[in-house]
Structure formats: C-alpha cells, structure tokens
Amino acid sequence: MDVSLAGRNYAHIMDDISSSTWVVSGGRTSAPGDPLNVPITLASNYRAGTQRGYSRGEGTPTWEALEDLVGGLEGGRAISFSSGMAAAAAVINLLSTGTHIALPEDCYHGVASLVDEGVDKGRWSATRIAGDDTAAWVDVARTADLLWLESPSNPLLAVSDVPAIVRAERRPGALVVVDNTFATPLNQRPLGVGADIVMHSATKFLGGHSDLLAGVLVTRDDAVFAALHNQRHHGGATPGALESYLVTRGIRTLAVRMRRSEANAMDLAERLEDHPEVLKVRYPGLPSHGAYEVAQRVLGGPGAMMSFDIEGSAERATAFCDALRIVQHATSLGGVESTMERRAGTPGQEHLPPTLVRFSVGIEDVDDLWRDILQALEVSTRHG
Ligand SMILES: *Cc1c(COP(=O)(O)O)cnc(C)c1O
C-alpha cells in the first residue's frame, strides 16, 4: 500500500516553534495565488496519472491540511477519522487474538465497551487500573500488549504520569496509546516522551464548537502509521470534507480558547471548592487534587474539564443541571460554550458518585458563569 501522499512526519521539526503559533500557521497552502486556507475538496475519485486515485485510500487535500496541523501539534504523523471512536477502533483492531490490554478504571465508556466486547468474545483479556496508580501501570507494562492511557480521565480527572509509564520496561512490540482529548496537544505531547500513538476525539476541544464529529491518531512510527492507515482504508471510517475543514478552522483558535477556558476553570474550581453545598471538586489545577504534583510536572496546564459532587440527592443534582441558564445542560464537552451533566444519569455510568456533575468550562464571562451556578444551586435546594 502506498501511503506516500499521507501526512508528513513532524517528529523533529516542531522543537523551535510554539504550539500557539503552529495552530495558526500549520496546515495551509503555500503557492502564490493560493487561498490561505486549504479549500473543501469534495472528491472520491481523481483523474488517473498520479498516486491519488480514490479518497478512501489516498485521502483528500482537506483531510491532509488537518493531518498536517495535528501532526505538527503532536509531533508525529497524523491520520484523521470520522469520529474519536473510529480512531479508537482502528487502534483496537490492530490487536491479535490472545493479547492483553490495560486500560484506566474510568476510561471513556465507548473505548471500554469496545474492549469489553472483545473480552466477551474471547479475543483478548483486559485489566482496569486507576489512571494515577503509576506503580500498577509500571507493573502491568511487563505483561500487557497495549497500554491505553487517558489523561486527564473522564470524568474523575485522574492524571497519569505518562512519562514514567512510557519509560517502564515493556513486552517487545507492546504499544502505549494516550487518549489526549482532555489535555489537548497544548498541555501534553505524549509522543515526545515516547508514547507510540496519540488519540483525539476532535469532536471536543480541537473542533471546539460542538458542530461535528471527527477523530485523529498520531504516531512517529512509520510501520504503525501504515497499519493505522490501512485500518482507515479498509475499515472505511473516513472523515467528512466539511468536518475536516471545520476542525482545521477550529484549531486556529485552540490556544486562545484553551487558555481562556482554563483561566475560567481555575477561578470556578476555587469558588466551587469554597461553596458549602459542593462536597468535592476534581480539577488538576487544585492543590487538593490527588494528582496535583503529577499534574504540575506532566501537564502544561490544568485544562478546561472538572467534576464536582453536589450535596444532596441525585434528583437535586439533576435539578441543578436543569436550572442552569447560561451553562448548557448537555452531554458533550470541549466547546466554546460551558456544559454540565450529572454523569451517573447516563447509561453505563451508574457506578459514578450519584451527584457528580461534569463541567466543561467554556469561554463565557466567568462572573456570569458563577452567578448561573449559584442560582441553579439555590433553585435545586427544593429538590433536596
Ligand atoms: C468523546 C470522547 C471520545 C469519543 O470520541 P467521539 O468523537 O465521540 O467518537 C473518546 N475519548 C474521550 C476522552 C472523549 O471525550
């Protein structure tokens, strides 16, 4: 299979340009007279005579603009997919029968379900480990064929010591994958410390506007790249043309969105922690967070995600979410708009603390967000 058209490998050229510049300048056209932005190419088929024949196999310029952009941010070679789950499935599909997978206790439920289905069918075995239990990860590295990390995790915000886990002695051929959706490449670049594959749900912070589904994988290893490219070619989970364009456009403002959301999140985490009706706040930027020291060392910033437990019943926590006026009561995350949801109310998440609310902090005025939270806490007290 010829993948020579697919994304450049940015492993070694990103050391002297900052991410906040690359998000603006990467993935563009360069010839005189070209539009600044790579246009939306609607094509499945190409005139014969070059290496580009059919999009599912050889891609489109619009996908490649996104892949160059994300490849540069993560420092590797990127391949885009129709969703984060399609990207995850491409990795899981690389596994042979009889392999052993280690994944976080509070792993994204779609990924955990995919692994569990394979376990039920007798294809492989899986071990669940708390994301912040570094010793257990180092231990499992000796026997696992795939270490799937997600850090910070969804929704408990566990932070993994990715550099230490990657350095652990591994079985030959074992892969370390990091779901970098929450941290974004601005706060964590796992390939730089030796991880094999980075995964993104570009639906979230990369896209940033809750208007599309997309996923990306990035690797420095040409053989792994070819295998993943083959998964997309034959699995068929190709990104949409409009979606690729919109993610590329979304990434242009990733740095300003992220820093603003993060400043809001830090401020609100501190205010929530001081509120008598909020029992526990999980946010990597708070000194009270279990993995604060690790977060300070391995993350470039605390991120825009947190979760907190409200005093009272599950009904009260749901009533709180329903009473919000500026924060959107919605399941997804990573957009310019703040969203909240009581996670234990969604299927497959019943094991979580019943009043845990996950908060994706947007870029609105922080005092407006705080007033909204206060009024919703007040209204919901009626529900005990
Ligand atoms: C949303 C999400 C996914 C799945 O991505 P989709 O784009 O919804 O398919 C995987 N991991 C994390 C951490 C996510 O938040």
Q: pLDDT, tens digit, for every residue of 222-236?
A: 999 999 999 999 999
- pLDDT score recorded for residue 215: 98
Residue 226's contacts (CB-CB under 8 Å, 6 or more residues apart) are 1, 3
Mean pLDDT of the 355-361 span: 98
270 close to 286: Cβ distance less than 8 angstroms = yes
Q: How far does the chain reach from its first CA to its final CA, in angstroms?
A: 61
- pLDDT score recorded for residue 10: 78
| Atom from ligand 1 closest to the CA of residue 213 | 7
Fold type of domain 255-383: Aspartate Aminotransferase, domain 1 (3.90.1150)
- pLDDT score recorded for residue 348: 83
Compute the distance between CA of residue 309 and CA of residue 288 in angstroms, rounded to an integer: 14
Closest C-alpha to ligand 1, atom 11: 108
Candidates 105, 182, 203: which one to mutate for ligand 1, based on the most atoms within 8 Å of Cβ? 203
Give me the active site residues, please.
56, 108, 179, 204
- pLDDT score recorded for residue 268: 98
- pLDDT score recorded for residue 30: 86
Mean of per-residue pLDDT scores for the chain: 95
For residue 369, pLDDT beyond 90: yes
227, 356, 380 from 311: Cα distances, Å = 49, 10, 11
- pLDDT score recorded for residue 29: 87
pLDDT, one tens digit per residue, over 306-349 is 999 999 999 999 999 999 999 999 999 999 999 999 999 988 88
For residue 80, pLDDT beyond 50: yes
Q: Which CATH number fits domain 3-251: 1.10.1060.10, 3.40.640.10, 3.40.5.10, 3.20.20.70?
A: 3.40.640.10
- pLDDT score recorded for residue 6: 62
Mean pLDDT of the 56-70 span: 97
Start-end of CATH 3.90.1150.10 domains in the chain: 255-383
For residue 207, pLDDT beyond 70: yes
Residues with CB under 6 Å of ligand 1 are 83-85, 108, 110, 150, 154, 179, 181-182, 201, 203-204, 213, 215
Structure tokens at 65: 């603009």
Distance in Å, CA 31 to ligand 1 centroid: 36
Closest C-alpha to ligand 1, atom 7: 84
Mean pLDDT of the 186-192 span: 97
267: nearest Cα among 141, 369, 342, 138: 369
| Atom from ligand 1 closest to the CA of residue 214 | 7
345 close to 314: Cβ distance less than 8 angstroms = yes
For 229-271, the DSSP string reads HHHHHHH--PPPHHHHHHHHHHHTTHHHHHHHHHHHHHHHHHH
For residue 245, pLDDT beyond 80: yes
Closest C-alpha to ligand 1, atom 8: 84
116, 188, 301 from 329: Cα distances, Å = 29, 28, 26
- pLDDT score recorded for residue 5: 47
Distance in Å, CA 74 to ligand 1 centroid: 18
- pLDDT score recorded for residue 9: 75
pLDDT, one tens digit per residue, over 248-307 is 999 999 999 999 999 999 999 999 999 999 999 999 999 999 999 999 999 999 999 999
Distance in Å, CA 180 to ligand 1 centroid: 10
Start-end of CATH 3.40.640.10 domains in the chain: 3-251
Distance in Å, CA 85 to ligand 1 centroid: 6
